[in-house]
Every structure is written in C-alpha cells, then in structure tokens.
Structure 1
Amino acid sequence: MLKLLILKFVLSLVVLTNCLSNDEQAAEKLVEKICDELKTKMYETNVASWNHATNLTNDNEKKKEDAELKMAKYNKKAALELLKFDYKNFKNETLKRLMSKMTMIGDNILDEKDFRELSSAISQMQSNFAKFKIGCFKNKNELLEFEPDIIEILLKSRDPDELEYYWTNFYNLAGTPSVKNFYKYVELRNKAAVKNKFKDGSEMWLSNYEDENFEKNIEEILEQIKPFYMQLHAFVRHKLHEHYGPEHVDLKKPIPMHLLGNMWGQLWEIDDLIVPYQNASKIEFTEELVKQGYTAKKMFETAEEFFKSINLSPMPELFWKNSVIEKPKDREIVCHASAWDFTINDDVRIKMCTKVTMGDFVIIHHEMGHIEYHLQYKNLPLPFRNGANEGFHEAVGDTIALSVSSPKHLNRIGLLKSKGDEGQESNINQLMSNALRKLALLPFAYVMDKFRYEVFRGTIEPENANCHFWRLREKHGGIAPASVRGNHDFDITAKYHVSADVEYMRYFVANIIQFQFHKAACIKAGEYESDSKNPTKSLNNCDIYQSKEAGNALKEMLSLGASKHWSDVLETLTGERKLDASAFLEYFQPLQDWLIKTNEELGVNIGWELSDKIDCPNLYE
C-alpha cells in the first residue's frame, strides 16, 4: 500500500511537470488564498505546540503531534496545487519567490506513518531532555532539575568534584537515552530530504541559506577568528590551571568542560576566575538587579523600553497576557527560553523560566529581539514572515544586547556603579567577559551542525559517532569532557537544540552578523567613528539606546523579513553583501592585542594535545 501511494505521488509530479500552467494571475490568487488559510492553520498548530511546551503531559504531546500532522497534510496539498504552475518562468519576482518557498514541502512530504514517527522521535527527545532530574551531590535523595537548579550550580560552584558529578550525570540522563530516537529522526529526515530532491538532510538544511558556498564561507570565518580563539583558549586554560591546579587542568591538554560554568562549554561563564583586572570595574550586575528590586516582569519591561526608545514596537497586549515568564509551580514545562509567533492578532509570546540575573537580563533582550522581528514583518505574506536567513533572527536581539551590556548603557540605567570609562583595564575586562561568550560559542556552534551534517551524509558510523563528536569538539574548540566518554555513550542529544531538531549553524551566523549589524547601527547613531581615538566612540562601548536613526535603519531591514535574498537584506543596513568577521574582530581588537602580549609574557602554551578523556585515541591519528 505504501509503495503504491508513493508511486501515485511521483506520477502526479511527472504529469504536473508535463502540463504546467503559466497563468500568473491565477497563481497569485491561489497563493493569496493559501496564505490566508495558512494563518489559521499555523495558529492552531502553534497553540498545540505551546500547550505541550508549557505543560508536558502525554495528552498534550499527542495533541501536538496530531496538529503537526494536520498541518503537514495541508502543506503537502497546497504545494501540489502550486506545482501545477510553471512559476520558475514567471515575470513577477515576488510571486516566484513566494511560490518557491511554498513548494518546499520539507518533512510534510512524508506519508502519515513516517511523519508521525518523525514527530514522535523529536517529541520524545524533547521530553527526555525536559523531565530528567539528578540527585543532589551532597544528598542523592534530593532531586534537582536542570533548569534552574543545576545551571545555577555550574555558574557558582568552584568545586571540581561537584561539577564533574553533575556534568557526568547530566550527559548520562539527557543524552544517551535518546540515541534510538535520534537515529530514527535522522533516517526519516533523510527520507524527507530525498523526496524533496535533496541528497540528504544536511543539503535540505543548507538550502535555507540560498548560497552554494555557505559551508565554505563558514569555514573561512572559522579560520579568520582562529588566531584570536587560540589566544583566548590559552589564557583561559592558564587561569584555570592557576585556580584548580595541575591535577585538574593540564597546560598542554584541552580544557575540561565542566570547569567553564556551562554544561556544554558553549559559553565560558567564569568571569570571576578569568577577567584579569579584579580591582577595575567589571560588567556584573546580578547583585544590583536584586538590590534594586528587579523582578522577572520588571526585566521584561526594561527590555521593552529599550526597543521603544529606538522607535521599534511596544509589546502587544496579548504578549503580556499569554507569555510564560516564570516557571510554574504546578506543572512541568520546557524551560529553555523561546519566542513564539502565532501568526494572527499580534499574538506573540515568550516562554522562559526567568531568574533575576545578569544572564537572564541579556537573554530577555535576545528573545524580545525575536518578537520585534515578528512584529516588523507581520504584514508580509506568511512565507516571508521569517528571518532573511536562519541567523538573522538570532542576531537581532544580540545586536541590542551589545548595547545593553555596554558600560555606557548600564550606567545610563543605573545598573553599573562605575563612571563608565575607567581606562584600559575596565575596557579589557568588558571585552574579556564578552569574548568568553561570543568567541567561545563559534567553534561549538560549528561542531553542533558539522557533526549532524556528517550523520545525515552517512560519513559517521553510529558505532563511532560519540567518539567522533568529542574529537570534533576537541579539534575545533580545544574542549574535553569532564569524565571519560566513549561510543557506549551518546552525548550530542544532551543539547536541547539537537533534541528539539533546531538547526544550530544559525547561532554561528548570528554571532558574526550581529557585529556587522552593530557597527552599522552605531554609525547611524553617531556612536562610532572608525578613525577616532576617543574610547566613547569605539564599537565595544557603543550604545544605540534612544537613537531613532539606528532604530529606523534596523526597522527597514527587519520589515523585509525573508522577502529578499539575505545578502540584499544585509546590504540594506550594512552596505555589505557577505558574512564576514571583520567587524567582530574590530570589536575585540584591543583584547586580542592584550592577549598576545600577556600570553607571551607569561610563556603560555598555545594549542593542545589529544585528550585522554575520549575513549577512542586513534580516531584522528
């Protein structure tokens, strides 16, 4: 029966190809009709997904899967109707682009059985990630949740044994149990890709960037930032060695991940150990937030005020009514922060288990950046209501956060006690704090999808997958697991975005492109002069707060959504058409110069040998 259905589908495409309509007017009417119907159907699907994410019950999981299947069936039907037209030869470029996006069927091309299995595999990985608990280090009978309990321990504890305990248990519980679901997901994603005329799932993902040289461009950027990364890595390892001693940190080996303040080593949240000038001012204002009586609601209102100050939109009434900004006490939810667009009635929401911390203050601005993007392109046809590419959406809020986390801005809103300009030492502290997050993320983000590309392409055998994953982390990032990991473990699904089927290269793109956005916005705001020696006009102390000029330039870019190729959209704001790390490196140039000089003076070893924590030593030899 299944083979017969597939044969019928293929034959229908063949017939369509041989008698395509060139009636642009009819196609335009059909596109308009489908877009109107899609709004309602997507709203229903989003509601089901939201209900599951904010109340993790089996019943809600089933309703979510049913809604996704219903949506998939509609998308497939709509795409087949549109494929009756010879749209690639239409004169109307906007219509051509709309139909190109609407006929990309994606996973919806799968039959009902396969689609349900794919949706179920992803849901089960998500649920496993959200529901596990770990016994307390000092009292195993006391069970802790990952968010926020264990995240907070990783940020605050400097006991290497305690950190290793939580790290190992986390990966054992959040990663390994999902191995079967992960490979079922890979199998079905590849099946969908082939039916969409791609080689595999990696090619289908990469097609979203509309650039055949995209992978090469990413690798070029990785090489562009590598000298800076190597200097930062060496300095951080040296400081950790000073603090923990040689029994925990070897000066020639990769850095043990559990000592970096973050479960994945994607952000190195250990400012107290690494920021060099402890007597100079540092960007740390959690204590000040608490002291000033900030609540989750007040942090969200403060973020909204920033966006309003640059002439972007206030949050709609439904945002405040429907968002979940604190962890409910009566049910399990997916705590990972996320922004949602429900497609109708200005219904946009954020889901977040907010804590009153500096980190969450910045995250709120990031998530509200997604919401602003949704609001700016809300009047476009539905297929264009997205980021210009996957990285644009992630970059918008981070661009704002570059201003928000600047000494100038924190002084303006009363969260930093310094006067905002205390010379080179404070500047190096600020840049170091940002580099521990921005630069550290790049090799991590690259590996998350490099690994998945290779799995989709079949170049990694499942029996060697986990070792390969850790060797990639080691090769590109100089990072090692806390305890010995081998192929009997499966650790990549211990990252939420992998379990939730979120493409991750977007974060690499975002971490580069946000500096291109930031530089352009700072020029518009009169906050940056390339040849100026005035530190208040530098990229790393630029604050676009209250600049309507910068906000209007951002608004113009955001309002385009995905209606044009991303290079055209990028050019609207920056005048550039290519992803490039020059602005990133310019922002951090004073720190890179300082690191080179300091590492030389300290005689710090640059680079790393193979880790003895990966139980497959011959993999790269």
Structure 2
Amino acid sequence: MNFVLSLCARLVFVVTLLRGQDVLWVTDARIAKGNNINLGEALQFLREYDSEASSMCLRVTTAQWSYATNMTDFNKRRMIDEQTLKAKFDKVSWRKAVEFDWSRIPDPLARRLLRMLVTNSRASLGDDKFNEIYHLISEMKDLYAHVRACPYNNFDKLYCDLELDLDVKRIMAKSRSNAELTHIWQEWHNKVGPPMKNKFMRYVDLANQASILNGFQNAGEEMRFAYEDENFESEIAQAFHKIQPLYKELFTYVRRQLFKRYGPRVLRSNGPIPAHLLGDIWGQDWSNIEDIVIPYREYKKIDVTDEMLRQGFTPLRMFQMAEEFYTSLGLKPMPPEFWRYSMLERPNGRKVQCTVSAWDFCNKIDFRIKQCTEVNMNDLITVHHEMAHIQYYLYYADQPYLYRDGANPGFHEGIANAISLSVNNPTHLYRVGLYNNNTDIYETNINFLMSMALKKVAYAPFAYLVDQWRYQIFEYGVKTMNADWWELRLRFQGIVPPVKRTESHLDAAAKRHVIADMPYIRYFVALLLEFQVHDVMCDAAGHRGPLHTCDIYRSREAGRILMDILKSGKSRHWKDIIRVLTKGNTDTISPEPMLDYFEPLLLWLEGKNKREEEKIIGWSTKKEDTALFQPLVSKGYSVGCSLVFVINSVLLLVLNM
C-alpha cells in the first residue's frame, strides 16, 4: 500500500511538471534553485538579507509585544499590518534566493544559508495562493481563540462561555466526574474541529503545492528536511521504540488506578484508556491525576510554595534567583533591557496575554520574558526555564540572522528543559533553602519520579505522533484523517475517544499547533535532548548517584559545556553539536539518559505490575475500541481511484503531446 501511495504522489508531481502549471524551476537534488553561481552576488544578497531581515524581525516582534502586553484594537491592527509586511518580505527574499544555484556556490556558509532560505517556505506559491494560505492559517487561529464551550448540566445553553485556559483545562484537571469530563471533552472537540475542517483541508492542499514547487514530494517531507539529516526519521523512531517499555509499564499502572476509581463501565481493565480520564484535554500530560496514582500517599508531594510565601518571595525575587542560578554556572547576567522592558507579573488596568514566553527582538541587545508570575513552585521552575531561552539568545546574538536559532528545532526547548531538571528536584531545592526534609527517603524519591513521569514519559508518544499524523495526511490525503488520528493515538498511546467520532470531526485540531502550522516533532526531540544534556552536564559537575538527584548549580564545568552549545546557535549542524557535547561518543539524540533517569521508577513499576499479576503490560485492542472512530468506507477504494486517475492523466498528456 505504501508503495502504491508513494508512486501515486510521484505521478502527481510528474503530471504537474508535464502540465507546466506553477512550476518555476525543475529541481535538482530535490531543492529548487536557479542558474546564478556568482559568489560575489550571493554574498552581497546574503549581507543585505541579514540586515533587512533583522530589521523586519524587530518591527514585527515589537508590534507583537505591544499587542500581547496591551490588547487594544489599535495594537492588534498594527501587529497584523507588520505581519503582513513581513510575509511580503519573505516572499521577495525567497524569489531572490531561488535565483542562485546554491549547490554550485563555492562558499559552504553561503551555500547553507541559501538552502535554508529556499526551503520550508510557502513563498514558492503564486501571489493568490500565498495570500490564501497565509489567511487560512490566521483564520483558523482566530477561530480557535474564540471557541467557547458549554458547562456541564447547562441545559438551556445560555452560558456557553468556558474558555480553554481559564475553564476547560481547570475542569479537566480537577473534576473526577466521568459524566462531566466526557461532556467537556466532547464540547471542546466538537466546537473546534468541524468549523475549520474545510479550511484545514485546503491548507493541506496548498502546503503540498508549495512543497512540490520547492522540490519535495509533499509538505511532510519538507518539514523533516529542517533537520538536515536523511536518517532523522529512522533514528527518532528507534528512540521512541526504546522508550515504549517504560511507557507501557507506566500506562499499565495508571490504568489500574483509574479502573479502581471509575470501574468497568468506563474502561476495561486490560484495554486502552479513554482520553478524558487523564486530567488534560489532549491526554498528553497526566500530572493532574497524580492524586489518583501517587504511589505513597503518606509521603507529601514536594511543593515549596508555602515556604516561598513564608520567606516573602515576590515575582522579581524569583527572576533574580533564576539569574543567580545562571551566573553561578559562569553564564551571562540579564542585560539592563531585560529588567527594564520585561513583563514579569500581570499589570493592572489593561488586558494582556499571560501565556509564558521568551522574546528575542533581533537587535542583539533587547531580550525579554512575558509572564504573569505568581509566587508558587511551578512558576519558579518556569522562570528558570524561560531564562534559559534568554541565555541562548544572548550567546548566539552575534551569529547571522538565519543562525540565530537552536541547532535544530528541538534544541531551544530541550536545553531549557534540561535546566528545569536540575532546578526541579529535592537536592536543588534543599541547597537553595526552600526544602528542609530528607532527600534520601526511598518513598519520596519514587513519588517524585512518578510525578516527573506523568509529565515526561506520558508525553513521549503524544509528542511523537502529532507529526506522524501530519506526515501521513500530507502524503496520503485527508479523506480519513480523523480515523487516522485515532489509529495513531491507539497504536502509540493506548488512548481512545470517550465517545463515537466520525469524519465530520477533526479532533487533531483540538491541539492549536496543528491548525497554526507549527511543527510538533521538535517537542519529542526536545524531550530526549533534555535528559541527554542534563546527563552530560551532571557528569561534568562530578555528580555521583541517581541522575534524578543531580543539581548542576554552581558548577562552572557544567556551565562551560552549556556555553559551548549555546554560542553556536544554528551555525553548525546539530549532529556536530551533539558530538561536541558527548566528547565524540555519539552524534545522535539518545533515549538512554532518559531511561537512566527513570530507572528506579521502572524497577518499581515492574515489581508493582508483576505483584498485581497483570496479564498485559500495555493494552489489548478490541473491535469496540476501533469502532469508536473507524469510517465505514475502506481507504483502499479511494487510493485505487486516485491512482487510476493519475495514470489516466499521464496517459492523456502523453497522447496529446
């Protein structure tokens, strides 16, 4: 079947070439390019682009910041105007870049920069289609932002005003009523997906057209090309395969605790878990059901919020503590602009976006954090995490504009999360005077690792499958895309929808990244990378003992390793960065440090599941599970028809030539 579908995709590309519609260049080595090989002209263009792109980035980021921190209609219009101008600038820059034959430019730096400019861009589309896909994505994001759900038992539906961040997430996290959880889950998914399904299908079509013009078979192939590694997909698949035994042990234990809570009417003792029971609207983070699955209830969860309040912490002090963490490693202090312009807590008198984010204003001096900080442990960890992004910005600030980014799309988040692993553990909290209990108690450590696993291990299959689904629909089509979504979730996560789903739904759209055109495999890469970086820094810091107890605070040796990673930005291939990180031992992103981190928990889970005489580690699938989402029409018919259509089209073209 895969061969037929791949052949079908190639024949579509042949038809497009033969028709001559919208094809500007016949590609060589996949990526579109022109004929100009003049090195001087290429370098001049890249110098001009670097300056103009930095200025454009400053303008757009400034407008976005103004709106995010003061949500007025005027600031919104200004932001949209600047974003529209940037889209035009990107299109003009692509047209200039694609005039060069990047593969024959003798300078390797210029060659790589040109190749980066002409890939992962929709600028290859004609003006009408370019504007269409740009507006489609904006419309879907706007629809998503305005979705409101009806509360449970609101029979007259007069007050359907539940927002995602303020209400839906809270109910999914706190409610233990199966009926209410089912209602809220269904409300959100039904309100989000169907209204934008047609827009999303058109977006898929246009994204594929752009990628074909760029020299790729489909948009999924072009998304993967961002990693500049032909073996990337297989290496990531192997990494996921190694994590699966740990995930299945965790899954089995969690399902048993949920079965005790909800009973056989809601889930089977050896089957998949309905998605609404996991404390999260997407089923990606299970930490909100920690109260149901905590191993040792008599041992309190590590939470230093009360101690922070007792010591009189403020948001400013939390940021100062994070800065001191980095300077203790020998890294840079925050620049004056950071303290002057950042939004560190919710302001009074104006509406703001409280989504936490770190900002690079592209002028090499202005870096900020936007956070409605509250004095609690979670926000303290978040402050350290966001400041790691600022450190990355500071260290690669002098690189060319296109190199001011992580070594690959997962590096920024991976490094920030690696810092969080050091800060978010009992050892560090004890050292900074926020936790006074014994950190060597076995039960406390198992509880802590369970808490981390509900965030990290539970997230792994979701982070992996989102883009697997996207790759699938970009290559094979959208006809059964909702069933495809749930097939992957059942296969990789062991999760099923709580109610019947059909192809009128678009349940993947419940995750904003999908409709916002934001690649997601970066989060799986980041998940692996955070433990790999943490492991190397801990080794440099001279840590001895379980990896989850490591704290790199005040280690200049760990800081030097971090600086070596940060300063290169994207100027070196990410495999070279990993080779430097591991002192030549490997150039791949390895899951082994993550498995080492959770090894004590894995041993505990294996013993617990064995004592409970679990017959199945993982889940068994029955027809009643797949019947929740499988369409009545088989996929094979539509694929066959598509293939016949393409073959007939080629034959007709050849006969008419």
TM-score (normalised: structure 2): 0.84
Secondary structure of the residue that 1:390 maps to in structure 2? Answer: coil
The answer to whether structure 1 residue 43 and structure 2 residue 53 are counterparts is: no
After alignment, is 221-230 or 105-114 more displaced? 105-114
After alignment, is 37-46 or 397-406 more displaced? 37-46
Partner in structure 2 of residue 589 of structure 1: 599
The answer to whether structure 1 residue 406 and structure 2 residue 425 are counterparts is: yes
- 8 Å contact 1:176–1:493 — kept in the other structure? no
Deviations 1:165-192 (A, max 9, x none): 3222222223332222322322222122
Deviations 1:335-375 (A, max 9, x none): 54333222015222334454544444333333332222111
After alignment, is 436-445 or 293-302 more displaced? 293-302
Partner in structure 1 of residue 580 of structure 2: 572
Whole-Å separation in 2 of the counterparts to 1:123 and 1:339: 22
Partner in structure 1 of residue 611 of structure 2: 601
Whole-Å separation in 2 of the counterparts to 1:52 and 1:183: 30
Q: How do 1:315-326 and structure 2 match up within 5 A?
A: 315-326=334-345
Deviations 1:409-429 (A, max 9, x none): 12223333422221x222211
Q: What count of residue pairs does the alignment treat as equivalent?
A: 604
The answer to whether structure 1 residue 465 and structure 2 residue 478 are counterparts is: no
- 8 Å contact 1:130–1:333 — kept in the other structure? no
The Cα shift of 1:539 comes to: 0.9
> Compared with structure 1, are the counterparts of its residues 13 and 491 closer, same or farther at alpha carbon in structure 2 (3 Å cutoff)?
closer
> Compared with structure 1, are the counterparts of its residues 313 and 137 closer, same or farther at alpha carbon in structure 2 (3 Å cutoff)?
farther
Partner in structure 2 of residue 532 of structure 1: none
Whole-Å separation in 1 of the counterparts to 2:188 and 2:311: 34
After alignment, is 335-344 or 39-48 more displaced? 335-344
The answer to whether structure 1 residue 523 and structure 2 residue 533 are counterparts is: no
Deviations 1:182-223 (A, max 9, x none): 223222221221121111111111010011121111211121
Whole-Å separation in 2 of the counterparts to 1:218 and 1:28: 35
Residue among 130, 142, 145 paired with 1:127: 142
Partner in structure 2 of residue 303 of structure 1: 322
The Cα shift of 1:378 comes to: 0.6
Whole-Å separation in 2 of the counterparts to 1:142 and 1:82: 49
Q: How do 1:150-299 and structure 2 match up within 5 A?
A: 150-269=168-287, 270-290=289-309, 292-299=311-318
The Cα shift of 1:256 comes to: 2.2
The answer to whether structure 1 residue 88 and structure 2 residue 95 are counterparts is: no
Secondary structure of the residue that 2:568 maps to in structure 1? Answer: coil
Whole-Å separation in 2 of the counterparts to 1:299 and 1:203: 43
Letter in 1 for 2:337: L
- 8 Å contact 1:447–1:476 — kept in the other structure? yes
Q: How do 1:453-492 and structure 2 match up within 5 A?
A: 453-457=471-475, 459-462=476-479, 464-492=480-508
Secondary structure of the residue that 2:268 maps to in structure 1? Answer: coil
Partner in structure 2 of residue 434 of structure 1: 452
Secondary structure of the residue that 1:469 maps to in structure 2? Answer: helix
Look at both structures and tell me which one has the larger radius of gyration over its CA atoms.
2
The Cα shift of 1:381 comes to: 0.5
- 8 Å contact 1:339–1:367 — kept in the other structure? yes
Letter in 2 for 1:541: T
After alignment, is 138-147 or 173-182 more displaced? 138-147
> Compared with structure 1, are the counterparts of its residues 105 and 221 closer, same or farther at alpha carbon in structure 2 (3 Å cutoff)?
closer
Whole-Å separation in 2 of the counterparts to 1:164 and 1:282: 28
Residue among 611, 615, 621 paired with 2:628: 615
Secondary structure of the residue that 2:149 maps to in structure 1? Answer: strand
> Compared with structure 1, are the counterparts of its residues 438 and 19 closer, same or farther at alpha carbon in structure 2 (3 Å cutoff)?
closer
Letter in 1 for 2:491: K
Whole-Å separation in 2 of the counterparts to 1:370 and 1:511: 16
Whole-Å separation in 2 of the counterparts to 1:309 and 1:515: 21
- 8 Å contact 1:54–1:333 — kept in the other structure? yes
Deviations 1:222-248 (A, max 9, x none): 211111111110001111112233333
Whole-Å separation in 1 of the counterparts to 2:351 and 2:506: 25
- 8 Å contact 1:283–1:405 — kept in the other structure? no
The Cα shift of 1:516 comes to: 0.9
Whole-Å separation in 2 of the counterparts to 1:121 and 1:452: 17
Residue among 347, 369, 390 paired with 2:366: 347
The Cα shift of 1:612 comes to: 3.8
- 8 Å contact 2:149–2:188 — kept in the other structure? yes
> Compared with structure 1, are the counterparts of its residues 472 and 147 closer, same or farther at alpha carbon in structure 2 (3 Å cutoff)?
same
Letter in 1 for 2:629: C
Partner in structure 1 of residue 7 of structure 2: none
Alignment RMSD: 3.0
> Compared with structure 1, are the counterparts of its residues 329 and 251 closer, same or farther at alpha carbon in structure 2 (3 Å cutoff)?
farther
Whole-Å separation in 2 of the counterparts to 1:181 and 1:56: 27
The Cα shift of 1:383 comes to: 0.8
TM-score (normalised: structure 1): 0.89
Secondary structure of the residue that 1:264 maps to in structure 2? Answer: coil
- 8 Å contact 2:392–2:412 — kept in the other structure? yes
Deviations 1:587-617 (A, max 9, x none): 1111111111110001123222246486335
Whole-Å separation in 1 of the counterparts to 2:166 and 2:379: 11
> Compared with structure 1, are the counterparts of its residues 281 and 157 closer, same or farther at alpha carbon in structure 2 (3 Å cutoff)?
same
Letter in 2 for 1:221: A
The answer to whether structure 1 residue 378 and structure 2 residue 397 are counterparts is: yes
Q: How do 1:139-150 and structure 2 match up within 5 A?
A: 141=159, 143-150=161-168
- 8 Å contact 1:130–1:334 — kept in the other structure? no
Letter in 2 for 1:555: M
Partner in structure 1 of residue 114 of structure 2: 99
Letter in 1 for 2:43: E
The answer to whether structure 1 residue 394 and structure 2 residue 413 are counterparts is: yes
> Compared with structure 1, are the counterparts of its residues 557 and 345 closer, same or farther at alpha carbon in structure 2 (3 Å cutoff)?
closer
The Cα shift of 1:488 comes to: 2.2
Letter in 1 for 2:52: E
Secondary structure of the residue that 1:277 maps to in structure 2? Answer: coil
Whole-Å separation in 1 of the counterparts to 2:236 and 2:34: 39
Whole-Å separation in 2 of the counterparts to 1:194 and 1:208: 16
Partner in structure 2 of residue 420 of structure 1: 439
Letter in 2 for 1:111: G
Partner in structure 1 of residue 563 of structure 2: 555
The answer to whether structure 1 residue 452 and structure 2 residue 470 are counterparts is: yes
Partner in structure 1 of residue 652 of structure 2: none
The Cα shift of 1:408 comes to: 0.2
Partner in structure 2 of residue 29 of structure 1: 44
- 8 Å contact 2:25–2:33 — kept in the other structure? no
Whole-Å separation in 2 of the counterparts to 1:241 and 1:18: 61
- 8 Å contact 1:281–1:418 — kept in the other structure? no
Letter in 2 for 1:10: L
User: Which residues of structure 1 form unaligned runs of 5+?
Assistant: 529-536
The Cα shift of 1:325 comes to: 4.7
User: Which residues of structure 2 form unaligned runs of 5+?
Assistant: 1-16, 636-657
Deviations 1:279-335 (A, max 9, x none): 235333445445555454444443333223222233333334444455567666655
- 8 Å contact 1:61–1:123 — kept in the other structure? no
Deviations 1:148-171 (A, max 9, x none): 333233333323333223222222
Q: How do 1:58-69 and structure 2 match up within 5 A?
A: 63-69=78-84
The Cα shift of 1:80 comes to: 3.9
The Cα shift of 1:112 comes to: 3.1
> Compared with structure 1, are the counterparts of its residues 272 and 221 closer, same or farther at alpha carbon in structure 2 (3 Å cutoff)?
same
- 8 Å contact 1:49–1:64 — kept in the other structure? yes
